[in-house]
Structure 1
């Protein structure tokens, strides 16, 4: 079985990463790519590292839809709904790396993103593509909302303890750091090198759009409302998410108990590595890979869980997870095209 895959928005960071991963997929053929800014130009003229490896010309959205069985959209929010409708009507698999289908409560989507939900029935049909938590819902589906980076790293760090009833649902804090690729390819003052280098700052404090998405995942796991404090920070590095999550422990919960719960929960998950005591979750050790590392600590003085997760925001937090979802949707081996090791140094 060879899957014809197309990428809309191929010259953005997530789109280019999709091309890189799909090129190494044993059962996928890159059928078409599109870019509004670079239409008619080869992808390798935008990313010289791809010269001689992917010189495909950037075409139009229509060409991608025509030539592809699976369509990936790596676009800003608000731009995927019409594409999703076209794919739905044509019976194609559509995987959205943007936020248009992630939130099930349409009022939350419209409030946080200031965009109208044009096709409520598609929002209802869409499944949330975090495989380690919702794998069975993803299998065989044709409209998949691919989670972002923070919304992958934080739930993976917290869900085992939450599901086991070892932490309180109130007072959860997610303190997260991101590499600058998470801000997208278009430069701003905050992502301009002289502004970013040798600095670090919080952004969108108390109002980041990923907040309701993280809460939605935690709510689905425990069946009750969960409210978190989520604060992202920008690191002067290209790649990576480091999520340090704090939660109040239930009385009597020990680190040994937590370690076993996490190891049991993720024992069959190829892409999640629960680290033993003494090893550190580090963005350096997950670069260019689809892995998530998790380390666990308790603070007996404050009776808090401190769970730290690390992912590559462009792979497990974007393109790699999207390919993982494609594999599940089409009945392929889930790890196909994704077994690349992180570089050692």
Structure 2
């Protein structure tokens, strides 16, 4: 009797060799870069390229019509030692920032707290308060602001109703022109209010319930629970409003007809940069102004982040 070797049973089609891990990763990376290509082109062409060009132009004397002439750090020396309007524009911008940003937070947080009380028609209130943020910085509203605070404007008319007769042009006098732009910025508190309202909705109810059982008053609960829990939201809103204040331009441009007047009282930093670049055609100096502004905003944001380590509570700290 002879023994035979059993035949090998095939349970399926022959398996094809799998691709190596490195080849698979390379394929996926290539697909990812292809999807990123439009963004990368936009970044290098519209952002990185112009930034590097403006950095080079900041060390040149360039008037658009001519050829850039290298002058080294002369633009920066003139800016810090001889340019009086540079320092005045910086002072106007910082005044606008330190007054309007806290006021926006106060109004937005106060109204968010009121709206969070469970009022009927909450969605209507949110829409009404948010509308100024959508249209408050537009050209039409900036033009309306001129008529509102003019000598014959609605504001003086309202004062006349309560017995105060005046023909003072609030937007045409150096002492009050900047205040009207601060009011316009505060009027756009709706975006910050919506963010605060969302933060209030996320505060655990059991925290307030436990405080009530311990006999804490509403004021004490607000300062001991609500504000600490809202501190990340406050930090975010302050940071965004601060950057926006440094970049403020269109309202001052429309209200002052691009001059920063009266008597440079509304000469924001960005408006002065615009004047040097597109009115005086001194693009080299305007580029230097832009880079100084970038450094100032970065330093201010960095300082704010350092302060946040001490005052911002994220809920996961022990």
| Pairwise TM-score range, normalised by the shorter structure | under 0.3
| TM-score of the two chains, using structure 2 as the length reference | 0.24
Bigger Cα Rg: 2
Greater helix content: 2
Q: Which has the higher contact order (CA 8 A, sep 6+)?
A: 2
| TM-score of the two chains, using structure 1 as the length reference | 0.22
